[in-house]
Amino acid sequence: MDMPRRGVGYERELAKILWERGWAVIRGPASGGGSRSRVQPDLVAVRGGVVLVFEIKKARGETVYLDPGQVLGLLEWARRAGGDAWIALRLVGKGWRFHRADSLEHTRRGGFKISRPGGGLKLRDLLTLYGGGVRRIDSYLEG
């Protein structure tokens, strides 16, 4: 029972970070709950019409293998919501990295993988991509 609590902790950590940066955030209702009839994202974040859906995984720096049904379900969920699907990796001792779910590598057996987990976007880069980066103080001044 120890593993799911840690996974839930990572979901809550990312939810708190995004909430504090102005996103409306909700954890998937079946997140961490075992089997479910349809795939749901671990986390959904919405701001200004932008919808981000996340599958959250813990990683230690080696290749991360992803269940094809989970990835395809995440992509379908994002398509229906009009959003973007991301794999959010919580790298042990190194923070967050984000990989687009529609750009994952394929395995020989039809699954998906991330060979370089640390090569994804950092949190600040993800937020900047969606217009949520840090603004300089002079950007608020009329000129």
Residues forming the active site: 31
Cα–Cα distance for residue pair 32/4, rounded to 1 Å: 6
Task: Find, among 67, 88, 85, the residue nearest to 76 by Cα.
Answer: 85
Q: Is 111 helix (H, G, I), strand (E, B) or coil?
A: coil
Is residue 11 annotated as involved in ligand binding?
yes
DSSP assignment of 32-63: TSS--SS---SEEEEETTEEEEEEEEEE-SS-
The answer for 22, left when phi > 0, alpha when psi is -120 to 50, beta otherwise, is left
DSSP state of 28: -
Is residue 55 annotated as involved in ligand binding?
yes
**CB-CB neighbours of 76 under 10 Å:** 13
Is residue 2 annotated as involved in ligand binding?
no
Residue list for the binding site for Mg(2+):
11, 42, 55
Residue list for the binding site:
11, 42, 55
